[in-house]
Structure 1
């Protein structure tokens, strides 16, 4: 529904179940989600007239830059550091959702 759930589930699952290193799990998750979530989801929304292409392009530019910077930072961290950073991120998101509910 929101287009983000897969990444939050797949990355940790690859680390815990498949014993992937965090950087490999992140890259694999992004690669697996790109076509089915990104391209096909956008196509369906566009087909139904629910896609503002200029707004999407501006947002995509920000995402592109953020992904590039984030990937560079992630590559400079050790596996355990990346796992801890992701855990802190999830806790902060959970607190925000709890407060806003």
Structure 2
């Protein structure tokens, strides 16, 4: 399951993300300073999040994701 997630992220994020950034950058719609600062934060937190997810195991990650989906759906229903 972890290999599938990693492969899926690689296949989607790299080509789609790079092409989208290039398109918006050419149009002048990218604040490079802010974008790089956000990217650095995402890079660090994704590293530790992936490490935590791998150490917890599939059962706990699945339960946590289920709880997250439930909370988001309740917020959408009641707002």
Equivalents in 1 of 2:65, 2:48: separation in Å? 15
Between stretches 59-68 and 78-87, larger displacement belongs to: 78-87
Answer yes or no: is 1:54 the counterpart of 2:36.
no
Q: Deviation at 1:97?
A: 3.6
Equivalents in 1 of 2:27, 2:77: separation in Å? 33
Structure-1 residue corresponding to 2:65: 86
Q: Which runs of 4+ in 1 moved over 6 A?
A: none
Structure-2 residue corresponding to 1:25: 4
Q: Deviation at 1:99?
A: 4.1
* Higher normalized contact order (CA 8 Å, seq sep 6+, divided by chain length): 2
Structure-2 residue corresponding to 1:10: none
Equivalents in 2 of 1:89, 1:25: separation in Å? 21
Q: Number of matched residues?
A: 79
Q: Root-mean-square deviation (CA), in Å? A: 1.7
5+ long unaligned stretches in structure 2: none
Structure-2 residue corresponding to 1:5: none
Bigger-Rg structure (1/2): 2
Give 1 or 2: higher helix fraction: 2
